Every structure is written in structure tokens, then in C-alpha cells.
Amino acid sequence: MRTERVTVFPDVANLPLRPPAMLAKAAASLDLLSGGRLELGLGAGGFWEAINAMGGPLRKPGESVQALEEAIEVIRLVWSGKRGLRYDGGFYQLAGLNGGPVPSHPIGIWLGAYKPRMLALIGRSADGWVPSLGPLKPDELAAAAARIDAAARAAGRDPAAIRRLLNVGGNLSADQFAELALEYGFDTFMVGGWPDDKDGLQRFLEDVAPRVRELVAAGRATGPRELKA
């Protein structure tokens, strides 16, 4: 309530533990309360034994991707605010639900994804990609981005409309951040990881971040660059 620009972003919500219709209503309510400052990050699962121990479903990889695709459709239906919504999926159903509340802005759906089927789902249906550097290796970035782009084109979408956010540690240099933006198309970074450096965040905000912005602005001024192969 004391801020005007800070965005709320679950990075990412574990879908198998959250019914999509209820998640949609909670997200819309928070978007209204924050004045349109919510984005929704979703994950298909992972840590399946822990999910199952909490009463959640135990899904195979293909099932988890299909369930996530259905969930995206359900969430957007609920956000439409229409009445008497029905959905008959293999994993989720709506039986005459009255949608709403309607978000105060078009909430983006971002997917944490690494494998081919999930990357293709981003290209078809999502608004953004939010992987983490580590699980996704630097030499895998270009191929993963290309798979998203190809799926987007096949679905009649503009790949450039799909935003790219990368979770990274704070130990990267300004040059490394700039390379990730200019060479691989990431437009936003979620940065953390200064457990033994009490001044790490302050130094990042005062020194590294401004330098990254300068390098990216200079790089973009020279014209578009091809993604690394």
C-alpha cells in the first residue's frame, strides 16, 4: 500500500496445489487491491513426492503439461467475468461458475519452463517465460528461446510479444547481465543471493543496475542482434 510501482509476482505458484478457478479469483482480487500490479507466475509441478504428501495429485510429465494448459484456459475464463462458465477438461471442470472479479489490468501469465513441451506451451498460450539460470544452463538459452519462438509463430503469435524474465544470482557482472539481455532477449531480471554480503543489494542497486541499463541502451542503439546459436 505504500508503493506505486512495485509489482507482485509469484515466482512461481505450484499449480497442482492450487485449483485454477480459485487461483484466478485470488489473483484478480490482489490485482484490484494493488491497482493493477500483479503478474501470475505458474509452474506445472515438480517435487512430486512432496506435492503428493500434501494431498496433491501425482502426475506424469505429459499430464502436468496438459493440466497446466487447461488451467491457463480456466483462469482466463474466470477473469472474463462472464456468468455460467462451463469447462470440461481432463483435469479441470467448471459447471456453471459465475466468473470474476475482473482484474483491473490484463494479468500476464508467466510459466517457469525448461523442457520442450513446456516451452512450446509458452509459445502457444503464455504471456511470459520465467526460467532460472542454473537449472537452465547458459548454453541452453538460445535453443530454449528458439523453441518458444517457433511455437508462437505456429500459433499465429508474435514471438516478440512473449516477455522473458530470468531469475539470476547477484554475483553476475554488469557485462553478463547486458549479454543476457542483448544476446538472449531477456527484458527483466529477478536478482537475489547476497547471504554473506550485507551491502550486496545496495551495491547492486547503486552500481551494477545503472551500468547494465547503460550497456543495454548502447547495445540496442546499434540495432537488433541475432540470438546466439
My answer on whether 165 and 127 are in the same domain is: yes
My answer on whether 86 and 21 are in the same domain is: yes
The domain in which residue 119 lies consists of 113-229
Task: Give the count of beta carbons closer than 10 Å to the beta carbon of residue 13.
Answer: 16
Structurally, how many domains does the chain consist of? 2
Q: Which three cell numbers stand for residue 208?
A: 551494477
Q: Look up the pTM and report it.
A: 0.91
Quick check: 111 and 118 in contact, CB under 8 A? yes
My answer on whether 94 and 191 are in the same domain is: no
Q: What is the pLDDT along the chain (229 residues), one digit of tens a residue?
A: 788 899 999 999 999 999 999 999 999 999 999 999 999 999 999 899 999 999 999 999 999 999 999 999 999 999 999 999 999 999 999 999 999 999 999 999 999 999 999 999 999 999 999 999 999 998 999 999 999 999 999 999 999 999 999 999 888 999 999 999 999 989 999 998 887 888 889 999 999 999 999 999 999 998 655 555 5
State how far the alpha carbon of 32 is from the alpha carbons of 10, 15, 42, 123, in Å.
16, 22, 20, 28
- Using DSSP's 3-state secondary structure scheme, residue 214 falls into helix
**For 184, phi and psi rounded to 5 degrees?**
-120, 0
My answer on whether 6 and 59 are in the same domain is: yes
My answer on whether 6 and 80 are in the same domain is: yes
My answer on whether 88 and 1 are in the same domain is: yes
DSSP calls for 22-45: HHHHHHHHHHHHTTS-B-EEEE--
